[in-house]
Each structure stands twice: as structure tokens, then as C-alpha cells.
Structure 1
């Protein structure tokens, strides 16, 4: 038998062998270890590295990748999905625990990961396996096309086209043909207790109700139609492309004509509902932050009438809260009135004033488009930076990084902050705002790449290194004085390790990329035989301990190392007793590898226990196939052995201490 072995790439802190065609201005190994400790290897292989003269922005950038990785859930047959909440919620899509409300952000953010497996699985789940159940409004087709702009995988995106068209047609159930606009109940827009829903209740409630023709859903449907048109062109289907392009143009025209509120000079809802409190087709009586969403998709015409809406964004009398952007202006009668309460009277989520990372993300995306694609004077690069900084500051709770659900706009602190629910909330994006906004990579389909950092003299340096784009490595380097990187003063750009833009002034650059026909391929997809997301039937976990509480956490497809959200099983280890955990597959399976993830103190390398692996043979006897004397905390431990067949796998744990506790986050079998 081949000697079994344990892969411990994290034990050796030597730099990973330099890849060809890369730059190395950032010590990625050192930076990765400083942010992720024992789990640094995954990040070195997957994320673009970034450093900047503003420590808070840099720290939040690396934290948000940790949040993203924590929300990658392995669901077995369909591979990986991205969740919104770390733990399961009663209102999510069972048994996957996904929600399509923030899927757009998940795709925009995740498209920058170097291993395409995660997003390929997730997009397939959305379009091939019912993940996009339309519980919430969405622009997932647009986000999927944005992902294509990075990787240029025509075959993958055109495969999604039939499902995209079906879902687009399904949304006709929210279309008013007489007005040629889409409508939605605000709670289905992921924005409960807005002006339309509160006023439709007479000011008494507003969690549900208040159907309206909203800027959000109409912008999303425009964006999806335009994306479908572009994807059809990739298939050389000119007739289909023209059909959806025309649909998008008609949507744009109707939107601008009918949802621009001339009195408020803002895009606002009009009521679909008609009752004793509000009348059908009337405009709502206040401005909301959602009125800036159309610019996320470059929908409005470039003229002063529409651009003037942005003049109120930063005004303290309008949307510009001291600690975050308000979702509703403070002049609204029910601004910040609390309607919903959770356990012990804690304040629940509402959209009548609180600052939400969800819509702050949308505003920053819209601002980047405004600064890049529009002729206007209302918004500057300084505004982008200051709102980005304000948003970054919201990521801190008591000095520690922890993005929560929503925030007070006029004082510091979170509103909805529920234990085991709100922590490390994946309902927004941040790193895509750094890459496409601050650092200025503006993805396009062709070989001309525009780079336009939204940076003024407030920063002394930044570097975004080895971003995978069109199958090439892209590095952006800015050094105000030339003394930090010693490569010259100003902005320079490198493609595949070679300088293509010499150090020069900080302004828009147009780069001609070489045609690259080699598409980055995802890593090999393997089925996790041990996962059970339904918490019943097989695979079934058992233990030598009598305590069966939380056993499902051992194979629920989730693993993270945040110390304030629990997702591990505490296995008691006794020195004079056989201590084991087993997975019963229910039938014979063939496998060659298992992966164990342990949770322990952040500053700890090895855990105190050792492990051996056994399989149940057909004669009813257990046979050991591997063992490890060194297990690392807070990362994955791969144990590889000769391929075997069995219906059960068992893990034996030993400890030199008389009694100890082992925290196991996840067991995977391949």
C-alpha cells in the first residue's frame, strides 16, 4: 500500500513558488498570514492582494474576503453556494440556506476569486437548480454577464441563457401592462418598512403591503434584459439579441418618463396599491436612497435633470447621515420610527431611515458609474472616497471587524445586532468597490481596458496585484512620491508582469490587452460524500460520546473560524477510552481523502489531539488506513490514502491529557 500522507501546506511559511507572469510588489505570504493565520494558503491562491496607505480600508478589504470564504457552503451534489447569513434562517431557501436578495453582490464580489469553481457552482445553482426562486427582486443575469466580462467563458454563460429568459418571463407576474412598468411589494424588494408600505398602512405598520412601481425592480429588469441581449450576441443570435435590446430600451424610456418625480426631482415609487390611505399611480411623498439604483446600471440619460438628484446625496438635510447614508430623508413623517422588535425588545430591520450596507453598496456602484460615464458636477472622487471610508468604518464593532445588518445613520452603532444571526453579514459588497471603483478596473468585453482610479491626493500609495482578468495578470501601482515602491512617481500598470503604462499622472488610462484565447479553468470538481444539508437520513454522523447535540454541524457544508459565531461540535476526548466519530454513508462509497477542520484559539498552530482514520470492511471489522500526529487549528487538514470502498468512515482521536475537548468544525470525504 502506498504510504498515506497528510498535506500540511500551512506548516511551511516559505513563500509559494512564484507564478509566471506575476508582479511581486506585495509580500502576499506575509500579508496573508498576518490576516488569516493558519488558513492563509486558500487566500494566497484565490484573492488579488491589495495594500494602501489607509490601514482601515486595507484591513476591511482582507476581512471581507474572510467573510466571503465563510459564506461559501458546500451543499454536495451542486457544489458550492454563497449564503447571506452564516447560520440557517427560517426564511431562507431550504435546505441550501441561500437567499437570492444579495446574490448580485455575491457574484460581483466573487468574480475576482482566481478559482472559478465557486462562482460556476453558484451561478449553475441559481439557473440550473432553482436557486433563483424569485423570492426577492434581482439582477442576477446582469451580474452573471459582469462575471463573464472577467473570465470570457462564452460556453459557461450561454448555457444559462434559456433559464435567464424563463425567469425574465416569469417576472411578468409583476408587470402592469397599462403602465408598462414592473411593481413589487417592498418586502419582496428586501426593503421592508419603506415609505410606500408604511403609508399604505396609514402609518401603523409596513412590513408587508405597499406594492409600488419602484426604481429598483424596474432598473433590475432593464439590466437583465440588456444582459440577455448581450449574451444572445455571444451565441450569434441576432434576432434574440435585438428583441431583448428593444425590451431594455422600452423599459428605460418608460422608467424615465414615469418614475422621475418632477416635484422631488428624484426617481421615486408610484403606488400600485389603492386603498383608503394611498391612491394608485400617485407618487410616494418622500425621497429614498433606492432612487439612485438606476445608475448602478447606467440607465438614466446623461443630463442635468437626472444628474441633479445626486446633489442631495451628501447633504445632512437629505441622505448624508453623519455615520452612514440614510435610506429615507429625515423629513419623512415616520423617519426612524421603530415598528418591528425582536427578542427582549431589540430593534429589528427596517428601511425608513437606517443605514444599510446593501444600499450603500448600490450607491457606491452608481457613483463609480457616474464618475466614469457621465458629465456632471454633483459628485467628485472625494465624495466617493469619503462615503467608502464611512462605509468601511461601519465594519467595526467595539474595535473588532464585524459587519452587521444595519446601522444608525445619525449616531455610531448597529441597530439589528442579533447573536448568531447578524454577525459577519454577507448582504453587501466591499472588495468589488475597491477593485472597480477605488483602483479603477472597468471591465469590458473587448481587448481595450479602461483604468480610472477614483483617487485624488488623499492617498500616498496603493497596489492591487495580480488580478486575473481575461486570462492575464493585471497589477495597478500608485506611488505619489515614488519612494514607497521605488518604481517611479505616479500611476503605472502591469500586465503579466510587464509594465504597460509607465509611471504617470493619476488619471484615466486606456490599455490594449493582447488577445488571450486561454480561459482560466476552475479547479477539479469533487463531490463531498460526507455532507448532509438536510439533517436527516444519510450520510449520518455518530460518536462514541453520549452527547449528540450539534452533531449535524460536523457535516453541514459550513466552515468558518470566527470566534463569535459557533459552528462546531465539541468532542470530548478521554485518555483511557476509545474516542471516535463516524460517518455512515448508507451505502458503499469509494473515496481517497478526508478533510478535517478544527476550531481553536486564533494564535494556536497545532491542536492537542491526534487522529487516525479507519474504514468498515465487509467482514464487520474496522481497518485503519491513515493517521496524523500533527493537526492544525483554524484551517483544513487533508488526509490522503489509497482509494478504498466502504459504507462507513471512522475518525479515532487521542489525547495525552486525561480529558480534553476537541472543537471540530467540519468533516469532508472525497
Structure 2
């Protein structure tokens, strides 16, 4: 998620000049390049589930088909991780299936919230991010891990411009911020954390604090991460306080942010290493309080992720370590620790024979996303000579490659920096959502830099056309921004889109700017009201097995399998089975929901999985309702079920205590009902 807090006067002057420069003439000044065929793209990318995406996501097409493929895969990942809690709305999950450290019964974890909101803020359907923020501030943030949720809420406001939504949780933000005082050392003016609770077990600080023997727990340290997060949260609370007219609150949190920035730059910058590093909070037989750690870690770039660093060449020189093949720049991705560290890539922890998660060298998409966000900030509005736009594009493509397992797309937890192969490989690791990608494309490659004022700023981070990392063309369209719909097109010679060569920006279908080259575009943009959020409530969802609503089935009555069909989770990835699976039988199968009381229903949505082998969509459906005395047919039987998408059925509203769905199965096939929803 980009940050716009440290833009120097010289850059602001450049932006102003760009804003008032005349737009290059073109044959049709009000007409932009042709629109992408979004229906075709959605059908090709998402098959029968295309309807979910067509009116929600921004659509992207470029000269790099692998970037395109990963971009659309990441939206399918986002869709898969939306869990419907019924009356409590939607949340985003980190793991598709349950893990032992999640917040029950929701399966939520607060550490990935920044990525979830960073991606979700770009959806035209604002419900997912809105519900998730409500949940996190009502009950979902147990501070299990560090996070930067207030900053993420402000980052969402920069995109949608909805002041009321952004400020409604200010009181909860302040309470949550104050709760972190238990990790604040007033004598140093810095926050500290155990690396495990920073979602980064087995770092230099935790391993060395154990004398090299372990590192899963322990190693409390003043880290760049928690201090950057708390800086970003303080700055966000200050800006949201200003939006609500709270002058005192603005001043108080601005002061907190400024103090943290000074302390990080003064105390966590290592001159010998030329990098931001940890200092120990723990004091034991092997490490001492305030002692610096003995190596560089990738976490040292996080201050740039949140624009916490002064525009100073001394600090910017740290980015050279990212390009060093013997440093943090591994052949396949960013190393979390440099190879010179004594315990680099030493495997301490296993689940059975399989390696478990560690941060002593492996690539983590989690931190890779944060570093690429920081790099985009550096290239956009810092003066430096350490990295180039070509470096950015090469590293973005390198990150995209990690998503591929052969020709299959599946982002996992961590990877070997030399090979790019997954390390953990546990069942829970498939399609892991603790990172971002769509936001990197939108704010970095395409260069939409969200702002709080009535301005649209676009600065694509592409190198010159002669560079091997250049892109000859791209188009991003249907981007929601301040209540408008934005499109950005780059066509180096005008041949691909058969129009004017260069960079074109459109708002609501009309061209508002054109540049012959890759220049920053800054144009005024009058914001419009954002559309209201529709919130239909699924009456069938149940998070706790054994409570109403309850499921039952004609076969395979395993309690967990039966419950999976009403647990609010929908995905069609074959690596992780999800839902109730019937027996293979010529007899009709059924799934039943007992609501425990009378409810009025008028429609249903069913998700069926098919794999071309064992599972196929039913050939027919029939609905029956139980009113407490007898079963009666509901609606017609003319619904045509589809696989790996949503089958919708409607009927005249009826009051029932139970709903039964009967399936006619294809010969020698089984039915997997991923989810059934009722409204």
C-alpha cells in the first residue's frame, strides 16, 4: 500500500508543473483507447465463476502474459479467502483451511490485514473491505501479531474517498494504539516485539538470543517492523483525526509519529552495516540489552514501505544490498537474511519430516510485497541512485515467478532463495494469503498513486522502451478512485491499441490526459459519491459445528465434511478440498439445513466443485421446505447447475424450518457441494 507522507518540495513543484502543462494533442481528445473485453477476459480467466469478477475487479492486459496471469490469479486468491460470517459480514482469511493459532471461531488472523485491505481497496464492490474493517475493530484484532490496520484503513480512504467509513472507528483505533504501550520502552522511545509475534519466527535476534540453539520463541527486540507499523498507524490516526475535525488528536498522533521516525533513524540505523537493524530488548547470557544484531535482514527496508525515512542518500544506499547476489538479492527472490549470517538457512523446526516456517534466509512473499512497496515509494518520490525502474520491473517479475509451481499457479508460504521452490509445502500452505500483488501492479507498474486531495496522480514505474525490462503496452481499466472509474493505458508506439502513442489517462470513459512518454501525470479530479454497499445476509452460514443452522446429508455424514458446506467459505482450488462430498450412487443425494426456527427464504446460491475426474456438477436440482409438519416442493426444478461457479435459484418467498436440496448425479460421479447459501 503506498504512502504519500514524504514528498519533497522539488517533487511537488514538478507535479504542479506537470498538472498545468498542456496535454498533448491527439486525433480524438475526448476518446481513450478501446475498452478491454472484460466479459471475455473474465470467462477465460475464471470460467464459470466469471460473474463474481466482472463487476468487481479492475481489468488489466499487458505485453507480459505471466504478469497478467498472476494478476488474475491473485484476484481468485482474494475471492477464495473471503469468509462469509452471515450477519457479521465478510472477513479475509490468511489460510484457506483452519490453523491452530487462528482467532476462533472466525479463522481470522490480524497480521495479514494490511495485505487484505491493500488489495481489497481496489474492488468496485466495497463490502469486503468495509465488513472486514468493521470486524477487526469490533472483535477481530486480538493483537496476536503486529499489524498496521489503521494505516490500511487510511490507505483505503485514499482510494475510495469515503470519509465517514474511514473515520467511524477512530475511537477504537486510539484504544488499540494505546494497548501497544505494553511493548513500548519509554527510555528508548521505541517499540519492541518478540519476532514470533511479528509473524517472523527464527530471525537473527531470536536465534542468537538462544545461543544458536533455537529461535522460535524469545529474542525480544526493537525492530524496524513494529516501529514502522506504529509510525504508520499514528500518522493514519492523525490524518483521520484531522478529517473528523479533532485538532488535539491530530497534533498528539502527529507528534507520536514524528518522535518514532526520529528514534528509528537515530537508533536503528547501523552505520557499519548501512542498514536499519534490530537492537535487543532481551538481556541474557548471550545477548545484551540495546546491543545491535550482527547482520542485515530484509525487514530493514520496511521504513520505506511507510515513507518513514528522510530523503537522504546515506539511508538510500541500503538498497544496494537488495541487488547484491551475495547479500539480500537471491537468485530466485529476496533473502530474509544475508548468507554471511552464521545460521543462514539452518533448519530448526519441522512438522514430521517437513520443514516448518523460518525467517533465517528463505524468501517470504509477505516481506517481498512490503519491500517492493517500499521500492516503489523510493523510485516515485525519493532522490537516489541505488536502484532503477528496470530493477523494479525485474524484481516484480521475479516475485511473479514464485507464484508458479510448474505451469500451475499456487502461492505458498516461503521459498528457497536459490531455487524458488517452496520450502514448507504443508497442506495449509497452498494459496496462502499473506502477501499482495494486485496493489503492486496498480500503484507500482501502472503507477496510480492514491491521494487524499481532489487529484489523480499517475506515475508508471516502467523503464525506457529500449530496456529489456520495459513493457511495450498495458491497459488497466475499471479502477475505482474517489467515486470515479479510472483507466490508464501505455502504448509505446500506438500500434497495439491503434491510437496515440504514449500514456493515456481516462476518467469515467473520457480522456483527461495524454503524454507522449512515461511522465508523471497529475490532473484535478472532482470526487463523486461512492455507491451504497449492498449487504444481503446468508441465513445458512454457521461457524460452530453443532449449533443452528445445522447441516445433514444423505451420505458421507462425517460431521466436518457436512459442516463445511455451510461454513461461509468458497474456493475451487483442487489442492485443498472444501465442502461436503456425496457418495458415488445412482440414488438421488441430498443436503439439508435445519435452521432451528422458521425463516423466510426466497433464493439460494450453491457452489459445486468439479475436477473432470471424480466430481461433477449435478444434472438437476430440486428444493424442498419443511414447515414443521411436512415437506413441500419449493420453486421449479429448471435450475441448471454449474461447476466451479455459483448456481442461483429463486422462488416465491416461503417460511421454512428446514431446507433440503436434492441432487441428480451424473453416472459414476460424485457431488461436492462447496457451499450452500440461503437468503
TM tier relative to shorter chain: over 0.9
Does residue 521 of the first structure (1) align with residue 532 of the second (2)? yes
Q: Distance in 2 between matches of 1:307 and 1:546?
A: 60
Shift in Å at residue 622 of structure 1? 3.4
Does residue 547 of the first structure (1) align with residue 557 of the second (2)? yes
Does residue 353 of the first structure (1) align with residue 361 of the second (2)? yes
1:588-635 CA-partner distances (Å, limit 9, x unpaired): 112211111100137999834211111112433434334234111111
SS at match of 2:173: helix
SS at match of 2:548: coil
Shift in Å at residue 119 of structure 1? 0.7
1:74-105 CA-partner distances (Å, limit 9, x unpaired): 01221110001110111111111111111100
Alpha-carbon distance change, 214 to 587 in structure 1, aligned in 2, over 3 angstroms: same
Alpha-carbon distance change, 539 to 279 in structure 1, aligned in 2, over 3 angstroms: same
SS at match of 1:572: coil
For 1:334, the equivalent position in structure 2 comes to: 343
SS at match of 2:299: helix
1:434-493 CA-partner distances (Å, limit 9, x unpaired): 000010000001112221000022111000112110111111101111100011111111
Q: Distance in 1 between matches of 2:350 and 2:647?
A: 42
1:176-221 CA-partner distances (Å, limit 9, x unpaired): 1111110000000000000000000000000010000000000000
Q: Distance in 1 between matches of 2:307 and 2:631?
A: 66
Does residue 607 of the first structure (1) align with residue 614 of the second (2)? no
1:470 pairs with 450, 471, 482, which one?
Answer: 482
Given that 1:182 and 1:214 are in contact with CA atoms closer than 8 Å, whether structure 2 keeps it comes out as yes
For 2:574, the equivalent position in structure 1 comes to: 563
Q: Distance in 2 between matches of 1:603 and 1:454?
A: 44
1:310-337 CA-partner distances (Å, limit 9, x unpaired): 1111101210100010000111010000
Q: Distance in 2 between matches of 1:103 and 1:142?
A: 10
1:589 pairs with 595, 599, 603, which one?
Answer: 599
Q: Distance in 2 between matches of 1:91 and 1:24?
A: 48
For 2:417, the equivalent position in structure 1 comes to: 409
Alpha-carbon distance change, 603 to 561 in structure 1, aligned in 2, over 3 angstroms: same
SS at match of 1:313: helix
Q: How do 1:138-537 and structure 2 match up within 5 A?
A: 138-343=147-352, 345-419=353-427, 421-456=428-463, 457=465, 458-513=470-525, 515-522=526-533, 524-537=534-547
Q: Distance in 2 between matches of 1:583 and 1:399?
A: 39
Alpha-carbon distance change, 236 to 625 in structure 1, aligned in 2, over 3 angstroms: same
Given that 1:477 and 1:492 are in contact with CA atoms closer than 8 Å, whether structure 2 keeps it comes out as yes
Identify which range, 473-482 or 187-196, moves more after superposition.
Answer: 473-482
Q: Distance in 2 between matches of 1:556 and 1:84?
A: 16
SS at match of 1:42: helix
Runs of 5+ in structure 2 lacking a partner? Answer: 1-30
Count of aligned pairs: 643
SS at match of 1:667: strand
Given that 1:605 and 1:632 are in contact with CA atoms closer than 8 Å, whether structure 2 keeps it comes out as no
Does residue 72 of the first structure (1) align with residue 92 of the second (2)? no
For 2:49, the equivalent position in structure 1 comes to: 39
Identify which range, 226-235 or 597-606, moves more after superposition.
Answer: 597-606
Q: How do 1:575-654 and structure 2 match up within 5 A?
A: 575=586, 577=587, 579-601=589-611, 607-654=617-664
Q: Distance in 1 between matches of 2:535 and 2:420?
A: 44
Shift in Å at residue 573 of structure 1? 6.2
Alpha-carbon distance change, 250 to 667 in structure 1, aligned in 2, over 3 angstroms: same
Alpha-carbon distance change, 265 to 375 in structure 1, aligned in 2, over 3 angstroms: same
TM-score (norm 1): 0.94
Q: Distance in 2 between matches of 1:656 and 1:229?
A: 60
Alpha-carbon distance change, 664 to 605 in structure 1, aligned in 2, over 3 angstroms: closer
Alpha-carbon distance change, 597 to 510 in structure 1, aligned in 2, over 3 angstroms: same
Given that 1:573 and 1:654 are in contact with CA atoms closer than 8 Å, whether structure 2 keeps it comes out as no
For 2:16, the equivalent position in structure 1 comes to: none
2:127 pairs with 94, 117, 125, which one?
Answer: 117
Alpha-carbon distance change, 383 to 445 in structure 1, aligned in 2, over 3 angstroms: same
Given that 1:60 and 1:392 are in contact with CA atoms closer than 8 Å, whether structure 2 keeps it comes out as yes
Alpha-carbon distance change, 519 to 621 in structure 1, aligned in 2, over 3 angstroms: closer
Q: Distance in 1 between matches of 2:348 and 2:43?
A: 45
Shift in Å at residue 150 of structure 1? 0.9
SS at match of 1:299: coil
Q: Distance in 1 between matches of 2:486 and 2:327?
A: 39
For 1:8, the equivalent position in structure 2 comes to: none
SS at match of 1:555: coil
Runs of 5+ in structure 1 lacking a partner? Answer: 1-20
SS at match of 2:371: helix
1:52-78 CA-partner distances (Å, limit 9, x unpaired): 101111110001001110001101221
Q: Distance in 1 between matches of 2:304 and 2:531?
A: 31
Shift in Å at residue 255 of structure 1? 1.4
Q: Distance in 2 between matches of 1:660 and 1:197?
A: 52
Given that 1:589 and 1:646 are in contact with CA atoms closer than 8 Å, whether structure 2 keeps it comes out as yes
